[in-house]
Amino acid sequence: MIEKYVDSKELKQLLSTLLVVVGCLIIAALFASIVVPGLRNANKPATPTAVAPVVGESGWLDPTEFPVQKGRVIPPVDPKTLIEPSAALTDAGKELYEANCLTCHGEGGRGDGPAGATINPKPRDFTAAEGWTHGPDIPNIYKTLMEGIPGTSMAAFDYLTKKERMELLHYVQMLGGYPGRGGSRDAMQALSEELAAPGEKTTNKIPVSMAIAKLESEFVPPSPLEISPDTESPGAEVLRRTVTDPTRAAQSLADSAVWRTGPDTLAESVLLNAPGNGFNVTTATLKPSEWQALYDELLKRLNTK
């Protein structure tokens, strides 16, 4: 065998050389298969992942452009038609519930909606008898919808119409398993009067695009920073030395309020992108005392506006 041709010392040398060669080959293979493809793609922009818009009847990013609707006075209704549960009320309530409540309270009203899991306190389980804050009777749920539960994520739904609140309430009671459960005679009487009271209004509605156009037309850009002021303060001098574009500088300072915390944060936010913020590159060499002077000057000017 191989011992015939080499002695044991030479064999050891041979084997260790072989080991080194194999090791080098493994490292090279790893380099070629992991590092090289990574380098090749390093400068390629990441493929954008499509973000599916959330679509709901009135949810966030809802692309629905509803028509302009002027607020109007709703004619008073006979409270009896809203207090007695009916299929018409619960059907309408179901639709409202799915658009406004389901994310927290869950499809079956057990407080297990997708958004409910992370909420503290948990959304009410309508089927549980215990633990209600206002209670599950008709006047109680009406109160919850009018006022919300302060200190929890249960908001007031006071912008809905009385009829819509009643529709929701009957659907909630149906989910909970006590349809039509009324409250004390006094509470029911008070609710009846509230429902019958005239003068209920709906609010004006305008499409989202119109609201955005309105915001844009009302936007007033800040006036440019005055860099050749009549007063000769140390800050004014620094300002003259560092500001290249007074309009940009005024805009960038107006856009972010953090710089107002102190000279250090001012320095940080200006230097993030000095030219883009309307300052020149020498701003990076300002001494702490100069930042302080600049800070005092900016505060003085931008606060008196």
Residues in contact with ligand HEC by the rule CB under 6 A: 100-101, 103-105, 115, 119, 121, 123-124, 132-135, 140-141, 144-145, 149, 152-154, 157, 168, 172
**Residues 260 and 273: beta-carbon distance below 8 Å:** no
Q: How far apart are the first and last CA of the chain?
A: 97
Provide, rounded to whole angstroms, the least separation between the CB of residue 272 and ligand HEC: 36
Provide, rounded to whole angstroms, the least separation between the CB of residue 171 and ligand HEC: 8
Provide, rounded to whole angstroms, the least separation between the CB of residue 155 and ligand HEC: 7
Rounded distance between C-alpha atoms, residue 229 and residue 278, angstroms: 18
**Which residues, other chains included, contact 184 with Cβ-Cβ below 8 Å and sequence gap of 6+?**
139
Structure tokens at 26: 């493994």
Structure tokens at 193: 């009067």
**Of 34 and 115, which has the nearer Cβ to ligand HEC?**
115
The dihedral built from the CA positions of residue 70, 72, 77 and 79, taken in this order, carries a sign that is positive
- Number of CB atoms found within 10 A of residue 187's CB: 17
Q: What are phi and psi of 270, to 5 degrees?
A: -70, -45
Provide, rounded to whole angstroms, the least separation between the CB of residue 115 and ligand HEC: 6
**Of 157 and 178, which has the nearer Cβ to ligand HEC?**
157
Q: Cα 93 vs. chain centroid, distance in angstroms? A: 28
**Of 157 and 296, which has the nearer Cβ to ligand HEC?**
157
**Of 55 and 284, which has the nearer Cβ to ligand HEC?**
55
Provide, rounded to whole angstroms, the least separation between the CB of residue 121 and ligand HEC: 4
Rounded distance between C-alpha atoms, residue 118 and residue 120, angstroms: 7
Provide, rounded to whole angstroms, the least separation between the CB of residue 108 and ligand HEC: 14
**Of 101 and 238, which has the nearer Cβ to ligand HEC?**
101
**Of 134 and 241, which has the nearer Cβ to ligand HEC?**
134
**Of 101 and 294, which has the nearer Cβ to ligand HEC?**
101
CB burial readout 275-300, b (16+ within 10 A) else e: eebbbeeebeebeeebbbbbbebbbe
Provide, rounded to whole angstroms, the least separation between the CB of residue 97 and ligand HEC: 6
The dihedral built from the CA positions of residue 128, 129, 132 and 134, taken in this order, carries a sign that is positive
